[in-house]
Amino acid sequence: MDIDTITKHSALHAKPNGLILQYGTAGFRTKAEHLDHVMFRMGLLAVLRSKQTKSTIGVMVTASHNPEEDNGVKLVDPLGEMLAPSWEEHATCLVNAEEQDMQSVLVNISEKEGVNLQQDAFIVIGRDTRPSSEKLSQSVIDGVTVLGGQFHDYGLLTTPQLHYMVYCRNTGGQYGKATIEGYYQKLSKAFVELSKQASCSGNEYRSLKVDCANGIGALKLREMEHYFSQGLSVQLFNDGTKGKLNHLCGADFVKSYQTSPQGMEMESNERCCSFDGDADRIVYFYHDADGHFHLIDGDKIATLISSFLKELLLEIGESLNIGVVQTAYANGSSTRYLEEIMKIPVYCTKTGVKHLHHKAQDFDIGVYFEANGHGTVLFSKAAEMKIKQLANDLEDKKMKAAKLLENIIDLFNQAAGDAISDMLVIEAILTLKGWTVQQWDAIYTDLPNRQLKVKEAINNLVKKYRLSRAFVRPSGTEDVVRVYAEADSQESADNLAHEVSLAVYQLAGGVGEKPQPGS
């Protein structure tokens, strides 16, 4: 470690006085102008992590669904997962160190983690479309090079694409090619195969309207659409040419306010979906003939996918174990439907993808989705091999089901929840089933629910309402506390949410915040 060089460069990325930040649910996030030192230091940390794991590490510059003025950064571990918890602590420590303490913090981390400083390091970097992202990713590169790390800058990528690249690079290309071309080809090949299988059953080519949150998803979907256009045509809205990132559009807006995004022309009963700002979340929605808005969130996506996978397994006659992982935000109706009707076990983890991802690894087939639309499916190596073998060995109907499963495995991004990949999976399943969006929506009826943001914590008044639940938790990405309530009617859910907020308000003496679209 050449401390003089590190100190010299670090001074060029000085930490604002008194600023304390924490590696939150999905990395560091705050106003972009406060992040230069964070980026530089995350470049340094990525090199240490790479040396320790002897693997490629990813650094993604994005603040996902946050406003355009924000930015953020997260590190991606060797198998494409979120950074290990002990390293999150190192990240927080390093980012908050005063200039003169940098050296000792770096040495401490290296010693604690047994980092061999002579080991080579390789870092891959991606960024979203925020105006601040390019400069901030240069600061990451500065941090990487100052510690002698090699790097590849992919430039503009969706978050899940960067996770995919890291996974591919550390598995010797077995998972796929670590290029944007490789990503497009892997997914589209699987999708086109599934479309062919659907058209054999008489189901046809479809079209879909996509709200891209004025983010990176638009760019990447544009690049990719010709690869899969024989199975699906997409019409993009909020593609970043006019509107502001995540402003009154995108998956987070649609889910939070349960309304359609601005800037999208919708006919009644038309199938539409929204990505978030870095394209790792997706929700579907439509307007019915009476103009009512219907949201199809991550819970219904998990239900569609897990039910379909279970049906295929039954057809093949295989008893691979399949489980669904949710968080407390999952609508009670989805949990009941999965457990009672589909007989699929459901597990609940803390909020944040890393918790769900981890739990999903316990199953042959682990389906995880947050209600907000982030999720994917993980297949164990053994399950994957078994299915591949069955696709070769079986005959007739059973072989057909095994081949469907084989292609579906390739269509999922198993490194991270991925709006593009999930969209293609959902479109393939709907086409194979010959289902409309209304048929999908009708699997079960969501219990009315309400989410609010308040400035401080806790209490609940659940007993007054039927079928009710409520909870409060501090956000890991915004400076707010979130209130969630559900009950047997929308009126009750709203009342409960407001009463809980009021209790929080009284406890804290703070100011509650009613959700205002665009706030």
Residues that bind Mg ion (CB under 5 A): 64, 276, 278, 280
390 touches 411 (CB < 8 A)? no
**Cβ closer to Mg ion: 77 or 276?**
276
Tell me the residue type at 444. Y
**Cβ closer to ligand 16G: 293 or 471?**
471
477 contact choice in Mg ion, ligand 16G, none (CB below 5 to 8 Å, kind-dependent): ligand 16G
The answer to whether the Cα torsion of 241, 245, 247, 250 is positive or negative is positive
Cβ 357 to ligand 16G, closest distance in Å?
9
Which letter, b or e, does each residue of 348-363 get, where b requires 16 or more Cβ atoms within 10 Å of its Cβ? ebebbbbbbbbbbeeb
Which 3 state secondary structure label does DSSP give 108? Answer: helix
Residue 332 interacts with ligand 16G (CB under 6 A): yes or no:
no
480 touches 454 (CB < 8 A)? yes
Residue 353 interacts with ligand 16G (CB under 6 A): yes or no:
yes
Cβ 279 to Mg ion, closest distance in Å?
7
Cβ 211 to ligand 16G, closest distance in Å?
18
**Cβ closer to ligand 16G: 296 or 330?**
330
* Sheet with 70-76, side-by-side order of all strands: 28-31, 70-76, 56-61, 122-127, 150-156
Rounded to the nearest 5°, which phi and psi values hold at 421?
A: -65, -45
81 contact choice in Mg ion, ligand 16G, none (CB below 5 to 8 Å, kind-dependent): none
Q: How far is 422 from 296, CA to CA, in rounded Å? A: 13
Q: How far is 338 from 303, CA to CA, in rounded Å? A: 7
**Cβ closer to ligand 16G: 450 or 482?**
482
351 contact choice in Mg ion, ligand 16G, none (CB below 5 to 8 Å, kind-dependent): ligand 16G
Residue 360 interacts with ligand 16G (CB under 6 A): yes or no:
no
Size of the site for ligand 16G (CB under 6 A): 14
Cβ 194 to Mg ion, closest distance in Å?
26
The answer to whether the Cα torsion of 386, 392, 396, 401 is positive or negative is positive
Phi-psi map region of 80: left, alpha, beta (phi>0 left; psi -120 to 50 alpha)? left
**Inter-axis angle of helices 396-411 and 381-393, nearest 10:** 140
Which letter, b or e, does each residue of 317-332 get, where b requires 16 or more Cβ atoms within 10 Å of its Cβ? ebebebbbbbbebbbb
Binding segment toward ligand 16G, per CB under 6 A, in 4-12, 139-147, 304-312, 469-477: 469-477
482 contact choice in Mg ion, ligand 16G, none (CB below 5 to 8 Å, kind-dependent): ligand 16G
Cβ 359 to Mg ion, closest distance in Å?
20
Q: Which residue is nearest to ligand 16G (CB)?
A: 475
380 touches 362 (CB < 8 A)? no
Q: Which of 50, 64, 188, 421 is catalytic?
A: 64
211 contact choice in Mg ion, ligand 16G, none (CB below 5 to 8 Å, kind-dependent): none
Task: Name residue, tokens 């199953």.
Answer: 363
Binding segment toward ligand 16G, per CB under 6 A, in 229-237, 474-482, 485-493, 507-515: 474-482
Instruction: Dig out the tokens for 519 from the structure.
Output: 């706030």
**Cβ closer to ligand 16G: 402 or 483?**
483
Q: Pick one of 352, 459, 467, 494: the residue that binds ligand 16G (CB under 6 A).
A: 352
**Cβ closer to ligand 16G: 146 or 212?**
212
287-326: which residues touch ligand 16G (CB under 6 A)?
none
49-68: which residues touch ligand 16G (CB under 6 A)?
64
Binding segment toward ligand 16G, per CB under 6 A, in 120-128, 302-310, 346-354, 382-390: 346-354
Q: How far is 347 from 295, CA to CA, in rounded Å? A: 23
Q: How far is 52 from 70, CA to CA, in rounded Å? A: 31
**Cβ closer to Mg ion: 69 or 113?**
69
Residue 497's closest CA among 448, 456, 465, 450?
A: 450
Cβ 29 to ligand 16G, closest distance in Å?
9
**Cβ closer to Mg ion: 280 or 297?**
280
361-380: which residues touch ligand 16G (CB under 6 A)?
370, 372, 374
Query: Please, which residues have CB within 8 angstroms of residue 385's CB and are 6 or more apart in sequence?
Result: none
229 is catalytic: no
Q: Pick one of 7, 25, 230, 259: the residue that binds ligand 16G (CB under 6 A).
A: 25
Rounded to the nearest 5°, which phi and psi values hold at 480?
A: -145, 170
How far is C-alpha 223 from the chain's CA centre?
21
| CA dist 361 → 225, 322, 405 (Å) | 31, 11, 18
Residues carrying an active site annotation: 64
Q: Which stretches of the chain bind ligand 16G, using CB under 6 A?
A: 25-26, 64, 351-353, 370, 372, 374, 475-478, 482
